[in-house]
Structure 1
Amino acid sequence: MNTPRFPRTRMLPLVGSLLVAAVLAGCAAGSPRPKPAELPANVALIGVRQAWSAKMPAVSFPLQVSVRGNQVALAGDDGTVLTLDAASGRELSRASAGEPLAAGVGSDGRVSAVVTRTNRVVAFEGGKELWRHKLASQSYTAPLVAGGRVFVLGADRSLTALDGQSGALLWRVTRPAEPLVLRQAGVLLAVGDTLVAGLAGRMVGIDPDSGSVRWEAPVAASRGTNDVERLIDLVGVVNRQGTEVCARAFQTAVGCVDTAKGSVRWTKPANGATGVAGDDNMLFGAEADGKVMAWRVASGERAWINERLQWRVLTGPLVLGRSVIVGDSTGLVHMLSRENGSPLNRLNTDSSGVAATPVAAADTLVVVTHSGGVYGFVPE
């Protein structure tokens, strides 16, 4: 696991203008999605069993499950924030923002943070609320908690830095807003001493002490004749290997950026809306039509494609052992071979659909559904 390691330094305040952006709730309306093909009988080529389950409030916002060591932090619509032990499913802490959520959860293992629908960042420590801060705009991306600070990516492509213990504003920067933005998680992570964010179709390296831009790398360029077609926001989750970060631009491209140099290694056309995952050799992602794709990290050339899940609404992938794992809108969890995309196993949760990209902690696969089901699976 790559742990954010910003140094704990004091920042200079930076003031920017306030911007307002319209919000696009997912994709533009279109023709109905074709019905998925029936799946064949499951043949379990690798043994997996459900070890535990838990229940929390329903999830309809773009949940990002935070993993720190053996702990997972997750949240429900009503503002409930839970930390569970991934090995047992045991509840370690519970807190509440007191109002519905728009984004979360960000955590460094000690402080957790979420964003409410009234644009407030709320931070907790050990189940106790530390502070709350009113944002100037909406956010659908889990805050990044790193180096004693909380960073927030706004839907208007603003960036806000707050003190992790007090919530005091350290700096805020803005960029020109677009007519439409995605109501889903964007890109925000720490790579060494650089804050890396997705701003439109660009991956941008930012000095966490001042908010000044160090470099910009274009993953995708606007195209089309209307606002929807020109929407190219980078979407989470990303694949980070050392200083290389690979990401997806919404329904446009996938690409990899060398964050040490601020340069694009490659980009390839791709038509997906969820994040990517991978390792040193391969990058994996699900297209909008349910095809699961693999690209070679060195060149961006396609390695394989799985069309068996076509027209299922898939989550972003998780790479775990020999498997690439995606959840779907019926609550099934599909385990595919990293080598060629062939099926390895299929797991059941509930019928409400998988709400977030699956995660792994304490040798346990953790899956959250829209109805608030939390499931822990382990190897047999």
Structure 2
Amino acid sequence: MKKMLNKALTTVAVIGVLAGCASEEDTIIMAPVPQVDSEFTTSSVWSSSVGNGVEQYFSKLSPQYAYGKVFVASRNGEVKALDPENGKALWAIDLEEDTSARLSGGIAAAYDKLFIGSENGEIIALNQETGELLWRTPVQGEVLSTPATDENLVMAHTSEGLLIALDQQSGVQKWAISTEVPTLTLRGTSAPVAVSGGVFWGTANGRLAAAIVQRGQLIWQQPIGTPKGATEIDRIVDVDASPMLMGSTLYVVGYNGQLTAIDLRSGQPAWKRTYSSATDIANDGSRVFLVTEKDHLVAVDARSGTELWTNKQLEHRLVTAPKVIGDYLVVGDSEGYLYWVDRSSGEFVAMEDEGNGGFAVAPIQLSDGFVITTRNGNVKKLTLSQ
């Protein structure tokens, strides 16, 4: 019965209707495409592809720009390095073996390597220059989020509630920290963030955890959400969003929880505000941006947590995590629309239909443009045209 409930909840989370589980009479209605008088358009510099992308699976494989290359991957195991100037493949590798590689966690770049996790319970290391497979280590649980790197270690958070550290050179496990996983959880795990010898990650039981990287020693846990309600679904308090560091403050948000600012040194909260989200957050140095469980865009003051604006026009459009690109906040939706938002007012500045199966992840910025990847594997470099 427990497995059936987990499977059912996973399906609900993927299609984005979990917010309506409080009542059988609730109806989730996707907001219509907003009418936007675009102040600019985008121009395509080049286009490429990577397998079938992630299709309609949960996998959130964000492209990565590092070592002067754009790295992209598909769920079924294709990984490519693209020249950012012309989009040509510098190398490609297929990690599929007897079954689909089911890549889902990544891409992380460090130590002249790429690190990618999979739903098959693996962490994979590739040579960033050639694409050569260096090692492939099995771990306990699915790796659904991007690994972190520090102190010559690769750290991945698995669906079994484990933060596992592997030696970056050999893939040998060095330590593991276990946290509680409730009976029902959202589909997804918080990507760990490593800084100044510490590693921080959200847990399925509603906490932000901190550990010492070198020893794998848990040092504190801070509640982000407290289970409430009569049913297990009501009591879900997953922290699936990755913590975000700004200065000496960590920001994190939880589902059925709070947006919380935490002092990095003490582990104590500076402020808390009630928002529910399982999506990564962004900042522009003075503001924190988030997408709520209802796909509302919100900006709050980073110092005080005061809400600055809310944009509800994308309600239930299955919006990506927000991304700051140039002067704008950018999100994509499940139908393939890309939205450019004024960071000060929350008003739409431009909108473009990229189609191609919709977006699972936000764009990434380059020095002379930005790269988008769609669910069906299309990869494009775009620039803004006034």
C-alpha contact (below 8 Å) 1:317/1:358 kept by paired residues: no
* Structure 2 residue 43 is matched with structure 1 residue 49: yes
CA distance in 1, matches of 2:94, 2:254: 33
* Structure 2 residue 177 is matched with structure 1 residue 179: no
Give the stretch that moved more between structures: 325-334 or 152-161.
152-161
Shift of residue 333 of structure 1? 0.7
**Which of 316, 337, 343 lines up with 2:342 in the alignment?**
337
Shift of residue 194 of structure 1? 0.8
Unaligned residue ranges in structure 2 (runs of 5+): none
Name the SS for the 2:237 alignment partner. coil
For 1:28-62, what per-residue CA distance to the aligned partner results, in whole angstroms no more than 9, with x for missing partners? 4745521322421x423245322222111221213
CA distance in 2, matches of 1:67, 1:290: 27
* Structure 2 residue 35 is matched with structure 1 residue 37: no
**Which of 76, 80, 83 lines up with 1:82 in the alignment?**
80
Corresponding residue of 2:63: 65
For 1:227-278, what per-residue CA distance to the aligned partner results, in whole angstroms no more than 9, with x for missing partners? 2222222223443212322122024322222222212122211133312101
Label 1:121 to 1:38 Cα distance change in 2 as closer, same or farther (>3 A): closer
Corresponding residue of 1:326: 331
CA distance in 1, matches of 2:263, 2:303: 12
1:217-232 alignment to 2 at 5 Å? 217-232=222-237
CA distance in 1, matches of 2:248, 2:66: 20
1:278-357 alignment to 2 at 5 Å? 278-357=283-362
If each structure's strand is expressed as a fraction of its own residues, which one has the higher value?
Answer: 1
Label 1:307 to 1:176 Cα distance change in 2 as closer, same or farther (>3 A): closer
C-alpha contact (below 8 Å) 1:111/1:145 kept by paired residues: no
C-alpha contact (below 8 Å) 1:337/1:344 kept by paired residues: yes
CA distance in 2, matches of 1:244, 1:369: 33
* Structure 2 residue 362 is matched with structure 1 residue 364: no
Corresponding residue of 2:132: 128
Corresponding residue of 1:91: 89
Shift of residue 283 of structure 1? 0.8
C-alpha contact (below 8 Å) 2:177/2:218 kept by paired residues: no
**Which of 126, 146, 155 lines up with 1:142 in the alignment?**
146
C-alpha contact (below 8 Å) 1:70/1:87 kept by paired residues: no
C-alpha contact (below 8 Å) 2:200/2:243 kept by paired residues: no
Corresponding residue of 1:114: 116
CA distance in 1, matches of 2:184, 2:65: 31
Please tell me the residue identity of whatever aligns with 2:69: Q
Provide the aligned length of Structure 1 versus Structure 2. 359
CA distance in 1, matches of 2:156, 2:302: 29
Give the stretch that moved more between structures: 124-133 or 44-53.
44-53
CA distance in 1, matches of 2:189, 2:80: 19
CA distance in 1, matches of 2:225, 2:151: 30
CA distance in 1, matches of 2:222, 2:70: 32
Normalised to the residue count of structure 1, the TM-score between the two structures is: 0.87
Please tell me the residue identity of whatever aligns with 1:343: F
Shift of residue 362 of structure 1? 2.5
1:170-209 alignment to 2 at 5 Å? 170-199=174-203, 200-209=205-214
Please tell me the residue identity of whatever aligns with 2:294: D
Please tell me the residue identity of whatever aligns with 2:348: P
Give the stretch that moved more between structures: 136-145 or 60-69.
60-69
Label 1:146 to 1:64 Cα distance change in 2 as closer, same or farther (>3 A): farther
C-alpha contact (below 8 Å) 2:271/2:305 kept by paired residues: yes
Please tell me the residue identity of whatever aligns with 2:254: A
Name the SS for the 1:182 alignment partner. coil
Label 1:175 to 1:291 Cα distance change in 2 as closer, same or farther (>3 A): closer
Shift of residue 179 of structure 1? 1.1
CA distance in 2, matches of 1:85, 1:234: 36
CA distance in 2, matches of 1:363, 1:273: 31
CA distance in 1, matches of 2:33, 2:173: 52
Shift of residue 74 of structure 1? 2.6
Name the SS for the 1:181 alignment partner. coil
C-alpha contact (below 8 Å) 2:151/2:213 kept by paired residues: no
Greater RCO, CA 8 A, separation 6+: 1
Normalised to the residue count of structure 2, the TM-score between the two structures is: 0.86
Please tell me the residue identity of whatever aligns with 1:55: S
For 1:329-368, what per-residue CA distance to the aligned partner results, in whole angstroms no more than 9, with x for missing partners? 1101100000101111112322411011222123322221
Shift of residue 297 of structure 1? 0.8
Corresponding residue of 2:161: 157
Query: Percent of pairs identical after alignment?
Result: 22
Unaligned residue ranges in structure 1 (runs of 5+): 1-20
Name the SS for the 2:309 alignment partner. strand
Q: CA RMSD in A?
A: 2.2
C-alpha contact (below 8 Å) 1:97/1:122 kept by paired residues: no
C-alpha contact (below 8 Å) 2:47/2:380 kept by paired residues: yes
If each structure's helix is expressed as a fraction of its own residues, which one has the higher value?
Answer: 2
**Which of 262, 269, 273 lines up with 2:274 in the alignment?**
269
**Which of 225, 235, 255 lines up with 2:240 in the alignment?**
235
Shift of residue 185 of structure 1? 4.0
C-alpha contact (below 8 Å) 1:69/1:362 kept by paired residues: no
